[in-house]
Amino acid sequence: MNLLTATPDSVRQTPTVLIRGTGLLGTSIGLGLRADGHQVLLSDPSATAQAIAADIGAGIILEQAPEGSDPEIVIVAAPPEATAAEVAAALIRFPDAVVLDIASTKSEILSLLLHRTQDEASALTRADLGRYVGTHPMAGREKSGPVAARGELFTSMPWVICPAVDPVTGDQLSAPEAVKWAGEVGRRLGATVHQMDPARHDESVALISHLPQIAASLVASRLQDAPVSALALAGNGLRDVTRIAASDPGLWVQILSSNARPVVEILYGLRADMERLISTLEAPRAPGGQADIAQLIAEGNSGVTRVPGKHGAPPQSFTVLTVIVDDKPGQIAAVLNDVATVGVNVEDLRMEHSAGHQVGMVELSVLPGRRDELAEAMTEFGWKVVLS
């Protein structure tokens, strides 16, 4: 079946999907699409990785698939540095298939593919690019590899569709039906589909993904020689800021190298802010110094209010109620059970252990109008409650 003439709008179809790359994301896509009724084929340069993915139910190894199981959609889930070559190979090998990639940057991949169409020795044509759509599922885990895969990994997460465009004319090169199927894959995995051009995508992820990674890594690097006595005082603030610093260096070398220009533009602005702060803190009580510090923190207050809230909705202010619990099994479940009895919805939950004491603190974010009601009820249930 040629999916460019058979649209997902006309009838629900379950095209055969080949996933090239059986790491965390590729295997998770396989699990999700198989649960949706698709036949999924698997391929990976690592025989071990593809065997594990097949064993946990993500699909059938390509070489073991029944005759006539040619893929109608190919999803390239390769490392960023290999993605363009894998996409080109898939476009050539499967001339009727829609080919997607899920790399975290898009402009460099498109540029490499366009270069292939301009190279007389290359087999790629602009017609081939009509079957290509770049995508970026913005989901992941702290673990990697097929054993960490989950079919629900993409539920409610952004799935960005980046149709190929001509960098000179701005004309869309990806066929409309290929773009529709790219979005349909995301929807069938439970994701929230967004569409933007490759350059805008790369600028966006430089700010909301790549900059936080850099900041976390730079802050965490300061801890390498920190005294143990200082680290013993660490609380959730340090843990929150440095959590993603445990990411794979090899992967981030590829990501930052392929999206260097948008990242550098943001770092120029950050450098100006840092130089401004350093200059102020060198003489913090000089005229205007206190106001400048306050202004810098206030600018952060303003920025954080723009981060989307629950389910991607507009930001909303919640109030925090802290419940003190003993450090023993069953306490968290008991707290949540009592909250459910009151009938108050928990918008967010955080935990922190108290240094030097066998107790923990459960921070419950709730709508402002329900905080006092919940605090009173939890106190009656025997919990020690602290209002922020």
The verdict on 348 and 244 lying in the same domain is no
Q: Are residues 212 and 280 in the same domain?
A: yes
- Model pLDDT, residue 13: 86
pLDDT exceeds 90 at position 343: yes
Same domain, 189 and 208: no
In this predicted structure, the answer to whether residue 125 has a pLDDT above a threshold of 70 is yes
Give residues with Cβ within 8 angstroms of 1, minimum separation 6: 13, 15, 72, 96
Q: What is the mean pLDDT of residues 83-96?
A: 95
The band of 6, judged by pLDDT with boundaries at 50, 70 and 90, is: low
Residues 50 and 166 in one domain: yes
Query: Does 6 fall in a domain?
Result: no
36 and 180 fall within a common domain: yes
Is 29 exposed, middle or buried, given 0-12, 13-18 or 19+ CB atoms closer than 10 A?
buried
Q: What is the pLDDT of residue 230?
A: 93
User: Is 7 a domain residue?
Assistant: no
- Model pLDDT, residue 372: 92
Residue-range definition of the domain harbouring residue 331: 319-387
Is 129 buried (19+), middle (13-18) or exposed (0-12) by CB count in 10 A? Answer: buried
Residues 56 and 185 in one domain: yes
Buried b (16+ CB within 10 A) or exposed e, 155-194: eebbbbbbbbbeeeeeeebbbebbbbbbbbbbebbbbbbb
Check residue 212 and give its pLDDT. 96
- Kindly tell me if the per-residue pLDDT of 11 is higher than 50: no
Asked if pLDDT for residue 38 goes beyond 90, the answer is: yes
| Predicted pLDDT of residue 10 | 45
Q: Would strands 158-163 and 192-195 be described as parallel, antiparallel, or unpaired?
A: parallel
Residue % of the chain over a pLDDT of 90: 73
Kindly report which listed range (55-59, 188-192, 318-322) carries the lowest average pLDDT score.
Answer: 318-322
- 123 neighbors 90 (Cβ within 8 angstroms): no
Domain end position, chosen among 249, 274, 304: 304
Q: Which of 4-18, 142-156, 222-236, 263-277 has the highest mean pLDDT?
A: 263-277
Domain assignment of residue 8, yes or no? no
Number of domains in the chain: 3
Predicted confidence (pLDDT) at residue 164 exceeds the cutoff of 90: yes
Q: Determine the pLDDT at residue 217.
A: 96
Same domain, 287 and 330: no
| Residue of 70, 89, 26, 75 lying closest to 52 (CA atoms) | 26
Cα–Cα dist 341/336, whole Å: 9
* Average confidence (pLDDT) over 346-360: 75
Q: Do residue 142 and residue 62 come from a single domain? A: yes
Instruction: For residue 3, tell me if it sits in a domain.
Output: no
Residue 238's pLDDT is: 92
Whole-model pTM: value is 0.84
